């Protein structure tokens, strides 16, 4: 599967392109800005892009009005098709947000229900409509909103007409834009039979069509399995990554990785590929979370080195800051042009190492050495062994462990390494030691 050998770049197009928050109905071809960032993505080592919602919506994209038309604030379908062609021509796969759990109040079928009430043929398209109740919008009817948010109207995914409409929408995205996969918003809320059918349907469109689900807690295998999703968002390790550095306790992330990938006789996700990230459009940027700026390159090194598919959120590659307490728009800004600095250089090296390494793409996980401030773990595949070493301390550290070989090359720096007499780890340093066979 192409996704398992990829480095993703996440963009929130409405913010990235500087679109107004409210849908003003004015068509402007802003989406083409993404194509202008392709040289930056390629320099960063990106070979797949995940785009947050691009379809017509009321405001932030997750309250969809029309699943078959690009948001007028971004441009036209033809504009977006041009962007997708440019991405594909540069070897970059395209994954879109599929918002199937709910729609916006401006969705044409829901507007018909508001206007025609019991007479509307679309009453059954929504999870629960009560014409004897009322909503916070004083509609004279009650409906189910996602997690109490009444701007997000819950769809009935057991209604055959709804399923057909959504599936035909996906078909149109493949035919018009040649997309390569979907990230399913709030996948943990979706009907499981709907996901089974979606997996079969998308596989019929493209054999390697990739399905990623937004999942937060619990056992990801409930939806990530051969019948449903290929992958899930690894929120468990997201928290463990930054907390391990801030508390100077590498045992925390190691515990999560052991639980997920490292136990000999029982492990949750062995051989599976979750989406790894240090931040995204919903959370505080990592540069604003880490208490020690020296740890910023290291958290990326750990994230790229652990099992999973790494994803970088636009702007964070150069250390942009933003706090969720400022509101979602602060997390989803418009940058006039990309910035390139030392952190970008470092992430580009990590991306190249990851993409070119069988062990980092497919290798099993084994903890080798662990202290509060250092960790070393092995990624081992059929033909390759890589030892990922992190020193989060301000002091050098000499690591003594059985490397099971004498020499290695560091995939990040390209320098040779001799394991004899202990391995010196420089302060605030990370290494991907590819062991000699």
Looking at the fold, whether 151 and 177 belong to one and the same domain comes out as no
**Of all residues in the chain, what percent carry a pLDDT higher than 70?**
99
Looking at the fold, whether 308 and 421 belong to one and the same domain comes out as no
Could you report the per-residue pLDDT of 152-170, keeping only the tens digit for each? Answer: 999 999 999 999 999 999 9
Helix, strand, coil shares, percent, the chain, to 5: 35, 25, 40
Looking at the fold, whether 40 and 126 belong to one and the same domain comes out as no
CA distances from 193 to 98, 160, 167, 209, 391 (A): 16, 12, 14, 18, 46
Looking at the fold, whether 275 and 142 belong to one and the same domain comes out as no
Six token digits for residue 300? 């990326």
Q: Please, are residues 88 and 187 in contact by the beta-carbon 8 Å criterion?
A: no
Q: Please, are residues 380 and 435 in contact by the beta-carbon 8 Å criterion?
A: no
Could you report the per-residue pLDDT of 73-130, keeping only the tens digit for each? Answer: 999 999 999 999 999 999 999 999 999 999 999 999 999 999 999 999 999 999 999 9
Q: What is the mean pLDDT of the chain?
A: 95
The beta strands (E) that lie in 223-363 are given as 231-232, 275-276, 309-313
Question: What domain range is 8 assigned to?
Answer: 2-103+156-361
Could you report the per-residue pLDDT of 221-259, keeping only the tens digit for each? Answer: 999 999 999 999 999 999 999 999 999 999 999 999 999
Tell me if residue 360 falls in helix, strand or coil: helix
pLDDT of residue 78: 98
Looking at the fold, whether 173 and 238 belong to one and the same domain comes out as yes
The neighbour count for residue 148, using CB atoms within 10 Å, is 8
Beta strand 429-435 with 385-391 is antiparallel
Q: Please, are residues 24 and 83 in contact by the beta-carbon 8 Å criterion?
A: no
Chain position carrying tokens 């295998």: 221
Least confident of 35-44, 87-96, 264-273, 277-286: 264-273
Could you report the per-residue pLDDT of 205-215, keeping only the tens digit for each? Answer: 999 999 999 99
Flag whether pLDDT at 264 surpasses 70: no
Looking at the fold, whether 89 and 142 belong to one and the same domain comes out as no
Flag whether pLDDT at 304 surpasses 70: yes
> Torsions phi, psi of 108, nearest 5?
-55, -35
Number of Cα atoms under 13 Å in the Cβ half of residue 395: 4
Six token digits for residue 256? 């999560």
Looking at the fold, whether 227 and 342 belong to one and the same domain comes out as yes
Could you report the per-residue pLDDT of 13-48, keeping only the tens digit for each? Answer: 999 999 999 999 999 999 999 999 999 999 999 999
User: How many domains is the chain partitioned into structurally?
Assistant: 3
Looking at the fold, whether 170 and 137 belong to one and the same domain comes out as no
Looking at the fold, whether 226 and 206 belong to one and the same domain comes out as yes
Domain ends where: 344, 361, 378? 361
Q: Please, are residues 277 and 271 in contact by the beta-carbon 8 Å criterion?
A: no
Flag whether pLDDT at 301 surpasses 80: yes
* pTM flag (> 0.75): yes
């Amino acid at each position: 599967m192409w996704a398992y050998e990829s480095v993703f770049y996440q963009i929130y197009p409405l913010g990235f392109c500087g679109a107004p928050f409210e849908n003003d109905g004015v068509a402007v071809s802003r989406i083409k800005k993404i194509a202008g960032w392709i040289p930056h993505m390629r320099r960063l080592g990106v070979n797949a892009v995940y785009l947050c919602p691009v379809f017509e919506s009321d405001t932030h994209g997750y309250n969809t009005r029309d699943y078959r038309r690009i948001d007028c604030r971004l441009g036209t379908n033809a504009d977006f098709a041009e962007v997708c062609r440019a991405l594909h021509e540069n070897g970059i796969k395209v994954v879109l947000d599929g918002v199937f759990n709910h729609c916006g109040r401006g969705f044409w079928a829901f507007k018909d229900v508001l206007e025609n009430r019991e007479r509307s043929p679309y009453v059954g398209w929504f999870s629960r409509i009560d014409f004897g109740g009322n909503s916070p919008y004083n509609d004279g009817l009650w409906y189910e909103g996602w997690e109490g948010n009444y701007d997000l109207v819950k769809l009935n995914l057991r209604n055959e007409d709804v399923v057909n409409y959504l599936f035909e929408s996906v078909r149109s995205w493949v035919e018009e834009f040649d997309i390569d996969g979907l990230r399913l918003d709030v996948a943990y809320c979706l009907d499981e039979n709907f996901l089974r059918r979606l997996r079969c349907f998308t596989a019929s469109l493209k054999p390697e069509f990739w399905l990623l689900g937004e999942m937060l807690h619990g056992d990801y295998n409930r939806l990530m399995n051969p019948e449903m999703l290929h992958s899930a968002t690894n929120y468990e390790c997201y928290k463990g990554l930054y907390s391990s550095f801030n508390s100077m306790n590498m045992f925390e992330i190691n515990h999560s990785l052991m639980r997920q990938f490292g136990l000999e006789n029982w492990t949750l996700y062995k051989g599976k590929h979750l989406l790894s990230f240090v931040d995204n459009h919903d959370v505080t940027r990592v540069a604003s979370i880490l208490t020690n700026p020296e740890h910023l390159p290291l958290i990326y090194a750990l994230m790229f080195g652990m099992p999973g598919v790494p994803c970088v959120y636009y702007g964070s590659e150069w250390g942009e800051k933003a706090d969720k307490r400022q509101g979602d728009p602060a997390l989803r800004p418009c940058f006039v042009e990309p910035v390139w600095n030392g952190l970008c250089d470092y992430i580009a090296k990590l991306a190249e190492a990851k993409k070119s390494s069988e062990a980092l793409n497919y290798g099993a996980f084994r903890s080798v050495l662990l202290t509060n401030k250092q960790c070393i773990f092995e990624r081992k595949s059929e033909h390759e062994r890589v030892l990922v070493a992190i020193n989060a301390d301000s002091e050098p550290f000499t690591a003594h462990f059985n490397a099971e070989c004498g020499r290695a090359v560091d995939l990040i720096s390209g320098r040779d390494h001799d394991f004899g007499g202990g391995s010196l780890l420089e302060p605030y340093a990370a290494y991907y030691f590819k062991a000699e066979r």
